[in-house]
Structure 1
Amino acid sequence: MTITVTVVVGNPKPQSRTRTVAETLVAKLLEPGSYDLDVIDLADHTAEIFAWPSEQMAALNARVASSDLAVFASPTYKATYTGLLKAFLDRYPANGLAGVTAIPVLTGADLTHSMGPTVNLAPLLVELGAIVPGRGFYFVAGQMDHLDEIVGAAAEEYAANLARLASVAAVTQGVSA
């Protein structure tokens, strides 16, 4: 079985370290060959992000909403995520991400805002109907030389949470998605 995974990167700088962290998380979490990866680097769409309506942005939103797993990644700006990511998420109606498992990821200069992905981004994703399998992931950008180790530990935690959810889902009584 192959799942669809989308990484949405809200860094205004294309090909950012934030993107690298998010893609590494997916690679550490999932078995190779078990997923199709789609990366939406919002820095590549700044000309359209605030255009209403926008067929291009609607298509991007639809791709994310049809994902099995979505990683939403942003650098920390003013103790929260970027306006670029917020503008993208604002395009969803209530429950627009229903059925999507979502992992919030923030990067930052130090641990000052380490609760940001859990306190600020995760509630927005839940409000949009996504399933968030644990606390958000915060990565200190100065630790890129330890990327595999730090992201690997986070991936193990998410994998354990998802396994527990799967075991509960396996015994639910006739409740379907």
Structure 2
Amino acid sequence: MSLHAVAVVGNPKPASRTADAAVRLARALGADDVELIDLVDLGAGLLGWGDPVVVDAVARVQAADLAIVASPTFKATYTGLLKLFLDQFATGTGLQGVVAVPLMLGAAPGHQLAPELLLKPVLVELGATVPTPAVYQLDSTYLDDPKLVDWLERWGPTVRTLASR
């Protein structure tokens, strides 16, 4: 069973730890193919509608089996860069058929509920299937996060089953 994943990264810094964590999560969930969409590369095209590069990025997310939607924690929420991209999707149907996992990295555990309370509802509103709790990792320890190992053991089979349909 082949699983195609897209890692959508809303970090304003290119080649960020957020991007690395998103790709790692997709691979840990069994994705054979992980395509990185680093939103910082889309630039000013995100400020309106119809930019061909942005339209293509939206279509690539819609064609994925699994989308890891990732952001650093900025001001206790996800970035405006990610918000601009998510605004490109139609409400209710824009992510229909896509299994999504919200992922946020932060500097301290105090914001660990941010992806669950702020990012996950937006993905559901856009029609994504979000069958698991969101993932929050400390940016300083994401490479060796025992909580992620536990999350993968508990939720990995669910994500793989739904994404492979």
Q: TM-score, normalised by structure 2?
A: 0.90
| Equivalent position SS for 1:46 | helix
**Is 2:139 the counterpart of 1:141?**
yes
- The correspondence for 2:116, drawn from 112, 115, 118, is 118
Matches within 5 A, 1:158-177: 158-162=155-159
Q: Which runs of 5+ in 2 are unaligned?
A: none
Matches within 5 A, 1:6-25: 6-25=6-25
**Which structure 1 residue ranges, 4+ long, deviate > 3 Å from structure 2?**
160-166
Q: Which runs of 5+ in 1 are unaligned?
A: 167-176
CA-CA distance at 1:51 after TM superposition: 3.5
Q: Alignment length, in residue pairs?
A: 163
**Is 2:41 the counterpart of 1:47?**
no
Instruction: Determine if contact 2:77/2:118 at 8 Å carries over to the other structure.
Output: yes
Query: CA RMSD, aligned part only?
Result: 2.0
CA-CA distance at 1:75 after TM superposition: 0.2
- For residues 67 and 164 of structure 1, the distance between their equivalents in structure 2, rounded to whole angstroms, comes to 14
Instruction: Determine if contact 2:73/2:111 at 8 Å carries over to the other structure.
Output: yes
Q: TM-score, normalised by structure 1?
A: 0.84
- The correspondence for 2:153, drawn from 153, 156, 159, is 156
- The letter for the 2-side match of 1:19 is A
| Equivalent position SS for 2:152 | helix
Evaluate the alpha carbon distance shift between residue 144 and residue 136 of structure 1 in structure 2; reply closer, same or farther with a 3 A threshold.
closer
The match for 1:172 is: none
CA-CA distance at 1:154 after TM superposition: 2.5
The match for 2:61 is: 64
